[in-house]
Homo-oligomer: A and B are copies of this chain.
């Protein structure tokens, strides 16, 4: 009998993250159990998808009842390696870096900002949110000594690749970059680029697709079924 040890499809893993936040809300609201039907409506997916996804984590549900909210949260956090706190560095204290430092939200979700860097002498030593901005010149040493493996890169595009290489050399394994440029990295360092233009273009494209469907089907069923298909 499978015990939650099957390989989790990457698409399932992605969805598991998105289940997590509504589950937190439900727990806060005091809801003890949730059915695949309910969660599916909240997350805008098919109920069968929800059940299939959870089945990879083991037999979490109770037939006729649903899933225990707390149990789900724990199982997901365990499966996704979110069970331990993850320290991260914010590199670049411009508008975006400041936004991250000033809102403590990340801290609730298993992440902990452990360092903030900037190269501007006027910013070094100042306090932003909970952190004191450190000199980017000390980046390698500080990151290595704190064993930080995750960094958010919020520096100008021009210096992003160089700073990224320094981070990788210091032992960082995952970089979330806000610079809209390609960052070449060795195979063992993962980089995700938050490119707003790309995201917005995709958003607009999807809206355009909808319009064409409407235009092509003038006798459409109107505001009929919820059409639980996203992406």
Given A81-B208, A102-B95, A210-B188, A202 and B150 touching (CB < 8 A)?
no
Q: Does A126 contact B (CB under 8 A)?
A: no
A111 to B100, CA, bound (A): 25
Given A207-B174, A208-B81, A200 and B99 touching (CB < 8 A)?
no
A10 adjacent to B86 (CB under 8 Å)? no
**Interface-side segment among A47-55, A56-64, A191-199:** A191-199
A99 adjacent to B94 (CB under 8 Å)? yes
CB < 8 Å neighbour of A205 from B42, B80, B214: B80
What residues of B have a CB within 8 angstroms of the CB of A124 in the complex?
none
Q: Does A206 contact B (CB under 8 A)?
A: yes
Q: Does A122 contact B (CB under 8 A)?
A: no
Given A96-B96, A181-B21, A196-B106, A204 and B42 touching (CB < 8 A)?
no
CB < 8 Å neighbour of A194 from B42, B81, B194, B214: B194
CB proximity to B under 8 Å, residues A178-231: 180-182, 187-188, 190, 192, 194-208, 210, 214, 223, 226-227, 231
Q: Min CB distance, A172 to chain B, in Å? A: 10
Interface string of A99-116 (1 = CB under 8 A from B): 110100110011100000
Interface string of A1-24 (1 = CB under 8 A from B): 000000000100110011011100
List residues of chain A with CB under 8 Å of any chain B CB.
10, 13-14, 17-18, 20-22, 42-43, 80-82, 86, 88, 94-96, 98-100, 102, 105-106, 109-111, 149-150, 152, 157, 173-176, 180-182, 187-188, 190, 192, 194-208, 210, 214, 223, 226-227, 231
- Please list 20 pairs of residues, one from A and one from B, whose beta carbons are closer than 8 Å in the complex, sorted by A's number: A13-B205, A18-B195, A18-B198, A22-B182, A43-B182, A81-B208, A95-B102, A100-B196, A105-B157, A109-B201, A149-B207, A174-B200, A174-B203, A187-B223, A187-B227, A190-B203, A190-B207, A192-B202, A192-B203, A194-B199
10 tightest Cβ-Cβ pairs between the two chains A and B? A95-B99, A109-B197, A174-B203, A81-B208, A17-B198, A173-B207, A174-B207, A95-B95, A95-B98, A96-B99
